Chains A and B, each alone.
Chain A
Amino acid sequence: MSEHDRNETALARELKAAADASTPRAIDVDAVLGASRAKRRARRTAVVGGAGALVAVLAVGGLVFGMQDGLFGSTSADSSLESGSVAESAPEVADERDESGPVDAEAALEMPYCGARVAPTTDPATAPLAVRLVVPENTAPGTSVAADVIVTNDGEATVSGSIRLVPGLAVDDDGVVVWRTSDPGGPGTGLELAPGESLTLRGSLETRRCVFGDEPLDEAPRADLPPLTAGSYGARAMVEFFAFDSLARFVLVSPGEPFTVE
């Protein structure tokens, strides 16, 4: 046995001895279940209730939400929003449904951590909406880059639901996340898209590099990250959507969009 092997064996032995000597405090299962249930309920209420309005988008690309720091920014779209498209109140969706329903079954993963593999692109066959990201082809390192996230109904039937207005964005280097925002968030707003219609959400990404551990769970990376080195990267968007017909939550992931840092 080599010295390296002996060291590994000794390390394992001492870790086990230390861990075994500790007496873990019992975990309160009821407290965990209760707190988890409350957190899920609050999250669902935010998605379903949201701004409380059902927005009918009447023209392709007809509505653009500009987002800054999780709040509504300027509405820089054409006039379709003003053309009488804000409609009736959002349908009531009972929040006390059994949580074993479609919300759990269809819920998807969150933004991958810095250093993790990117999330797989959503299979269009299984999602009610398609997501596409538009970013400049060339960007400078260490800067903030505007990104348009276009949500389209490519299906043959009208899709209605509630969408979170702040998309999640991630930059990857050969499939490994090197920068990310926090998870999709912001207020949930009622949405109705006829076949072929689309909605544009706005966000921004940073051409900076993070590594695993640079962000606490559910939060964005720090602002003091080093700039990306020159080269080719990819960007992806995540959008959270709650479908009224199936009462299912979807986290829709766009295909990777290449761009160059130079």
Chain B
Amino acid sequence: MSRPWDAVATELVVERGDALSRYAYLLTGSVDDAADLVQDALVRTFGTPRMRLTLPRAEAYVRRAILNAVIDRSRRDGTWRHVRHLTAVPASIASTADATDERLDLVARVRELAPRQAACIVLRYYDDLTVDGVAEVLGISPGAVKRYLSDGLRALSSAIDPAGARPARTGGDHVGT
């Protein structure tokens, strides 16, 4: 017999699975890590009884679970995170056609942000959510979202190319975690 949460889970995966995977990918830089994170977040979400679990609420839960996993991981990897820019050039730099472009790859820079800043940036500028929408998904106040967006944009400003003159990025798996 089909269960209500089965139906919500299935519908979420079918209709929003790719969006969730791409959200996780932008936060991790790895297609495989993203898939594992999404799958784990889905189990966390649907493995706990919840009241009135609608599709939007389920998606919000999954996104929070993904973000918390990223935060948890970044805390564990904190030491490496602080020094890796001193020891390695991001793979995406080497893959661009324009070798003279000294700016760091923007998407890689997003992943260098604090996870909650990165999540706000991705939800606001990739998923096109409003500030209130981001706040609702992440369960934080709109004021906190504005602060994270402001801090995140400031940190990214040197890597943003308003004219769009840089070559488009290709592929995703080449970007290291």
A interface residue numbers (CB < 8 A to B): 3-4, 6-29, 31-33, 35-40, 43-44, 98-100, 103-110, 112-113, 115-117, 176, 212-213, 215-218, 249
**Chain A residues, Cβ within 8 Å of B21:** 24-25, 27
Q: How far is the CA of A21 from the CA of B9 in the complex (A)?
A: 26
Question: Taking chain B's interface residues, is the majority helix, strand, or loop, or is none over half, making it mixed?
Answer: helix
**B31 touching A15 by the CB < 8 A rule?**
no
Indicate the size class of the contact surface on chain B: 35 or more
- Least Cβ–Cβ distance between A171 and chain B, in angstroms: 17
Q: Is the interface of A mostly helix, strand, loop or mixed?
A: helix
Residue of chain A at shortest CB distance from B42: A32
Contact B126 A19 (CB under 8 A): yes
Checking A8, A19, A116 against B22 with a beta-carbon cut-off of 8 angstroms, the contacting residue is A19
Query: Per-residue CB proximity of B1-31 to A under 8 Å, as 1/0?
Result: 1111110011001100110011001100001
Q: What is the bound-complex CA distance between A176 and B102, given in angstroms?
A: 43
**B139–A32 touching, CB < 8 Å:** no
Interchain residue pairs A-B with the least CB separation, the first 6: A39-B47, A107-B49, A22-B172, A24-B21, A6-B162, A25-B35
| Contact A32:B9 (CB < 8 A) given known A21-B171, A100-B4, A249-B49 | yes
User: Given A33-B6, A99-B5, A217-B69, do A17 and B161 touch, yes or no (CB 8 Å)?
Assistant: no
Asked if A43 contacts B47 (CB within 8 A), the reply is: yes
Do B139 and A98 have beta carbons less than 8 Å apart? Answer: no
Q: How far is the CA of A14 from the CA of B104 in the complex (A)?
A: 13
Q: Whole-angstrom distance from the CB of B35 to the nearest CB of chain A? A: 4
Q: Is B96 an interface residue (CB 8 A)?
A: no
Residues of A within 8 A of B126 (CB): 12, 15-16, 19
State whether A33 and B139 are in contact (beta carbons under 8 Å apart), knowing that A7-B153, A109-B51, A110-B48 are contacts in the complex: no
Known: A15-B125, A109-B50, A216-B69. A22 touches B171 (CB 8 A): yes
26 A-B residue pairings within 8 Å (CB atoms)? A9-B162, A14-B160, A15-B106, A15-B121, A17-B168, A18-B107, A19-B25, A24-B21, A24-B25, A24-B34, A29-B9, A29-B13, A32-B9, A32-B42, A36-B47, A40-B47, A104-B50, A109-B51, A113-B139, A113-B140, A115-B141, A116-B139, A213-B68, A216-B71, A217-B69, A217-B72
Residues 113-134 of chain B: 1 if any A CB is under 8 Å from the residue's CB, otherwise 0? 0111000011001101000000
